[in-house]
Chain A
């Protein structure tokens, strides 16, 4: 019996030929009989373990993807520290200067300080986006993808960086201006934060569709027109400034959701080369 099984296992071409010759009906029937009654024994633990151990080396390693979110974001933040030097100095200075001017305008002239705040809030982010995509604009994308920190991580950490910087500037300006307006701090923050989140979301979306110079200028234009309409249309402005804070929170949540959505899109898009180059580029 055992010998026969072995013969089967080692079958090669010559064996088959041989088999054809030597097989007669009787032998075949006997074999059939045997096979119907043959029992496969369950292998013992040790053998299973041994097999598993041998196979283990062929199992691919866990991908970095499953590293915990905490660890990943921590790496991003650490990464952001080095990115500070890569984002151009002009950007840091220009943004701060812009807010300084904003402070002067809000303080010196008869415009509504909150309006100045709303107007200034997303500007550093809009400018910053062009810094975020520096690599893409200068044709470094391919190389960035090949590095340890790949393009999407670099982009995310830069986004994080300019986001934090932008929020800091806004908060400082809010604090400085709060005695001028005499409004509660939380209300002031909510007032600029809501439009800010929406514009960040639109900005992220646009930045995926258009190349650098184009999306920055387009976004700025949109922002400008939005503000002008806002200023001219008094009842809109009044309505907006007097919205109940619960409504603000609702809009804010919506804004945050939009931003989150765009960020997820982002990571997906910039993980692969095709994703990055599919960016819509005008002639």
Chain B
């Protein structure tokens, strides 16, 4: 199975949200990483067939998905970043509704609903009205909804927002468990979410794909560029102006900071092994500055 994104762009009245984005995805988990407003959600909506690209095409095994219509959506699972639930439905009713929308027959729907409820750990609350659900429970129900039809293509937009650490770990494991024979695209700006599970990371900035590679390669690319050093309080603001400064930690001997820089920022700086967070900083710090 091969999902080809062919030079798609999306323009809104006053904004170019996605600009000639091309990529080819095969089975496995892909992470879409980028700051707020990078166009991740727009891209995912187009992939979910709820928005049409202004130009370009999306192909699944060489077939245009806009022509495939419900054949495409039949194998699609989508969880938007923001979504609503019918407050006076309970979990079972809600999921059965979506099961029928996804074209599951009655018998299958019944067992499948139980299965996904188990997957997201909501069995106990399955008869409760959704208005009594907490934020995390709602999100889990959303995930359950996306998994109902056992999708071959799973698109999840910031799925872990609002989940507690334990649930996060569960969800991560769930994703890597099911990722075997399907395409999973997940967007996030929480880098730890993808550290262990993503096959490849797509870095997106201002609607464009700026980098695409495996986590190892990404880490390699910032190898020798991450530094750790101790500085005085007074020097900090000067450093922040001229370098991309990551973690700032107070230690006994002053302040310990992490700097991402192509050159050694100061004589006493020690090179340390990079993490994904450093990668993010390396590629997006500029963006953050501009936003401020």
User: What residues of chain B have their CB less than 8 Å away from a CB belonging to chain A?
Assistant: 86-89, 131
Contact = CB atoms under 8 A, between A and B. Distances in A.
B85 to A, nearest CB: 10
Contacts of B89: 283
7 contacts: A281-B87, A281-B131, A282-B88, A283-B86, A283-B87, A283-B88, A283-B89
Contacts of B131: 281
Main SS at interface, chain B: loop
Contacts of B88: 282-283
Nearest to A277: B131
Nearest to A282: B88
Contacts of B87: 281, 283
Interface string A265-283: 0000000000000000111
Contacts, number: 7
Contacts of A281: 87, 131
A281 B87 CA distance: 8
A281 B89 CA distance: 12
B93 to A, nearest CB: 11
A262 to B, nearest CB: 25
Range of interface residues on A (Cβ < 8 Å): under 10
Nearest to B86: A283
B204 to A, nearest CB: 29
A274 to B, nearest CB: 13
A2 to B, nearest CB: 56
A281 B84 CA distance: 14
A282 B131 CA distance: 11
B129 to A, nearest CB: 10
A283 B94 CA distance: 12
A136 to B, nearest CB: 15
Shortest Cβ-Cβ A-B pairs, 7 listed: A283-B88, A283-B86, A283-B87, A281-B87, A283-B89, A282-B88, A281-B131
Contacts of A283: 86-89
A101 B131 CA distance: 43
B271 to A, nearest CB: 46
Contacts of B86: 283
B98 to A, nearest CB: 15
Contacts of A282: 88
A282 B87 CA distance: 8
B240 to A, nearest CB: 32
B289 to A, nearest CB: 29
A226 B131 CA distance: 35
A283 B89 CA distance: 8
A59 B89 CA distance: 49
A91 B67 CA distance: 45
Nearest to B89: A283
A217 B131 CA distance: 24
A281 B88 CA distance: 9
